[in-house]
Structure 1
Amino acid sequence: MSRIESVEVFPVGVRVKSTFTFASGSAGGAGDEVILIYVKIRDDDGVVGWGECRPMRQWSYETPESAVSTIRRHLAPAIIGHDVSDRAGLHARMNAAIGRGTSTGQPIAKSAIDIAIHDLVAKRAGLPLREFLGGARERRDLSISFTITGHDAEEARQQMLAGQADGYRHFNFKAAVQPETDIAVAKALKQTIASGGFLWSDANQGFNITGAKYVARAFEEIGVDILEQPLPADQFTAMRELRRATRIPLAVDEASVSPGDFLNHVAAGLVDYLIIKVTRSGGVWPSLQQIAVAQAAGLPMLVSGLTDGLLTKMAACQLASVFGLDGPVALNGTQFIDEAGLYPAKSGIERGGMIRLNDIPGIGVEPDQDYLKQHARDI
């Protein structure tokens, strides 16, 4: 039996390559510095696992400062000495250290530890994470969804054309700017997307019920494939009303953190997809529980993220590969944050609108430790 010996936390500054705004805020402006938080867990045999998270106040109550202090002061002491193979027990310890309110307490901070542990135990087994979780090693390639940031129809169309030139077939765009603008953008993108491309709209809680009905009906007519989180997360009753008003496939994001959250939406008939968000859900282990709910309900699944770094992207893609997901993965960190120093070999993993999983044991990628030291931030 191997046990957790140490937990180290590295807040790291990276630069934003291009501005990314949405209904509830911004993931950063071009040239800004944003914080990625890395966790390094070592067991008593010397095996190391890496995890990562990117908390942002615009889409969560967690911040870089709260995540770092939570991990260092509460989660790490709770898990030192724990059996690395006992992932259910790991979450029980973390949830005892940081309790829950209406949903999982500090899930983004917990996800960094969960991802590191999954990296570690898969390395101990000598298997890529997808194979360790029960999937096939041969499932390697996943299509990436390109994020459209333009809020003008022609600007959005030009961004889609640029993405297509780079090899992307699937696209997602941010709605809830203004209803007429949203509809104009959706029309332009639907006219431009290639046959077989998946067009995904995400409102980030930006509509009221009136606007949501109006835009959802228009998106349905245009042929948008999915509308994600159209209403504020706590407006369950309004979500029922929207479901009755439109047939466009619906999904939730901010409203679905724990497996119980997703189960409640499934039971009420309010969702048509599970959006797998490893970081928001507290890691790989809780995501597996959400997936079980979706499979029991016969619902398809898509993968998304929080403009995460490559380590989280790879973990999410390894998980998606286990279940043979056909839909695109909306993991857009590469578009918006400069990770060249963190992952010098990144171009061999992600290119041409595809993620190509390798056969390295664990998640399959580690951050450059010299970069972590040089760009560490004291928070």
Structure 2
Amino acid sequence: MIASADMVTGLMIDRVEVFAVALPTLRSFGVAGGAIAVAGRPSIRILVKVSADGVSGWGEATPAPAWTYETAESIVTTIDRYLAPAVLGKPCWDLDGVTTAFDRAINRGFSIGAPLAKCAVDVALHDLLGQALGVPVGVLWGRRRRSTISLAWIVSGQGPAAVAECVAEGRERGHRAFKVKIGARTEREDIAVVNAVRAAAGDAALWVDANQAYHVDGALRMAAALSELDVLAFEQPLPANDIVGLRRLRDASPVPVALDESLRHPSDLATFVRLGAVDVAIAKVQRTGGLTLSRRLCSLAEDSGVRLMGSGLTDSDIGLAASLHLFAAYGIDTAVDLNGRQFVDSVYATRTTVTVRDGYAEVPTRPGLGVEVDESVVRKLAVDVLERRDAR
């Protein structure tokens, strides 16, 4: 159903449904904090369906305890018991009002509270609005600077001897940029891995992500070594809240310092900008609580002269599409880390509504996010993550 603008203003949120689904894992993937995906085990994603007078939209959250504090169980209960009751009966178009209701239901501490859970509902509302009006999300915003987004291929968990095979697979698939996860090994081993990637990737773009694994002195040593390898960014070398350390690192690092986990809310970026502690801001939809706050963060970065790069959270196709719309709106043209297709199979999509070929993803042009969800498959894949497990 395509509604008129007048009809959309009258659409009120009347239902929020939450599904924890078990998606097939294509290969293992880990960060410095631990495993994100394990081959042979299903990957759990939380899908949210928001409905208003017969129109619906879908959102996604990725439980990643190795990366942040939100688990599958906490995301489900946060949405079901706190966020959904806070927004029922509110106009679906009032995204700013929904954000305020979120913050009243789950308040901020040092930084934003429960961003992954909030993201799933926020993205679903964007999808719903696009579906109601029959336009893609970028049209809702009035901005799309790119029609395709270049994707980086991820190197994670391989030792130096196994890197060449991984890089070769990425090159065969058309990828022209590579992102290397480090921090799980010693500094010497990390540098050996990055060296091996550079040797195998030739002059391809290369960036490195430590996921908060280092302290300042180690990060400075690592930055000096990375500068010899033409690395375009050193992402989140230090703990997210080590503002003093990040400023010291940024002042001394020969490689641009990119922030990811440090930027949960646009106000976090404002702090780092004022202190001169950031070169690059990573746009990440789930980390920043959805598209509403992510747009604010991206606009602040642009206005502050901070370079934007893009990343995801091993999203399935719903999250992938949301990120593509955001990155296209802000013209993020450095190869981005949207690695879901590399590690997870989005079997709930009725067809390939996000096209990825030759290392590029096409920004969807269908209404809303542009992903068609087969709800019968979602319900078939749903699991009860709150079921009590026997103590072991």
Is the structural similarity TM-score above 0.5? yes
The answer for the alignment partner of 2:4 in structure 1 is none
* Corresponding position: 1:73 with 2:73: no
**Aligned-residue offset at 1:238:** 1.5
The answer for the alignment partner of 1:335 in structure 2 is 342
Q: Distance in 2 between matches of 1:332 and 1:288?
A: 21
Alignment match of 1:295 (pick from 302, 305, 309): 302
SS at match of 1:200: strand
The answer for the alignment partner of 1:238 in structure 2 is 245
The answer for the alignment partner of 2:167 in structure 1 is 160
Contact 1:62 1:108 in 2 (8 A): yes
Q: Residue type of the partner of 1:16?
A: T
Cα-to-partner distance string for 1:119-166 (whole Å, 9 max, x where unaligned) = 111222221111211114x83211111101244223122211111011
**Aligned-residue offset at 1:367:** 2.5
The answer for the alignment partner of 1:198 in structure 2 is 205
What TM-score comes out, normalization by structure 2 length? 0.92
Contact 2:353 2:371 in 1 (8 A): no
Contact 1:151 1:181 in 2 (8 A): no
SS at match of 2:228: helix
Q: Distance in 2 between matches of 1:34 and 1:56?
A: 10
The answer for the alignment partner of 1:91 in structure 2 is 99
Q: Residue type of the partner of 1:345?
A: R
Alignment match of 1:16 (pick from 20, 25, 41): 25
Q: Residue type of the partner of 2:94?
A: D
Q: Distance in 2 between matches of 1:192 and 1:299?
A: 31
SS at match of 1:257: coil
**Aligned-residue offset at 1:179:** 1.1
Q: Distance in 2 between matches of 1:5 and 1:166?
A: 43
* Corresponding position: 1:365 with 2:364: no
The answer for the alignment partner of 2:380 in structure 1 is 374
The answer for the alignment partner of 2:35 in structure 1 is 26
Q: Which runs of 5+ in 2 are unaligned?
A: 1-9, 386-392
Cα-to-partner distance string for 1:29-69 (whole Å, 9 max, x where unaligned) = 1111221111111112x111111111221111111101100
**Is 108-117 or 206-215 further displaced after alignment?**
206-215
Q: Distance in 2 between matches of 1:242 and 1:227?
A: 11
Q: Distance in 2 between matches of 1:167 and 1:318?
A: 22
Contact 1:160 1:192 in 2 (8 A): yes
Contact 1:3 1:82 in 2 (8 A): yes
Q: Distance in 1 between matches of 2:87 and 2:178?
A: 40
The answer for the alignment partner of 2:108 in structure 1 is 100
Contact 2:316 2:345 in 1 (8 A): no
Q: Residue type of the partner of 1:148?
A: V
Q: Distance in 1 between matches of 2:97 and 2:205?
A: 38
Q: Distance in 2 between matches of 1:130 and 1:348?
A: 15
The answer for the alignment partner of 1:216 in structure 2 is 223
Alignment match of 2:62 (pick from 47, 54, 59): 54
Q: Residue type of the partner of 2:52?
A: D
* Corresponding position: 1:323 with 2:321: no
Q: Distance in 1 between matches of 2:123 and 2:95?
A: 11
Sequence identity percentage: 37
**Aligned-residue offset at 1:295:** 0.7
Q: Distance in 2 between matches of 1:358 and 1:245?
A: 41
Q: Residue type of the partner of 1:139?
A: R
Contact 1:12 1:377 in 2 (8 A): yes
Alignment of 1:166-205 (within 5 A): 166-176=173-183, 177-195=185-203, 197-205=204-212
Judged with a 3 Å threshold, the aligned counterparts in structure 2 of structure 1 residues 259 and 348 are, in CA distance, closer, same or farther, namely: closer
Q: Distance in 2 between matches of 1:298 and 1:210?
A: 27
Aligned length, in residue pairs: 375
**Aligned-residue offset at 1:302:** 1.2
Contact 1:294 1:301 in 2 (8 A): yes
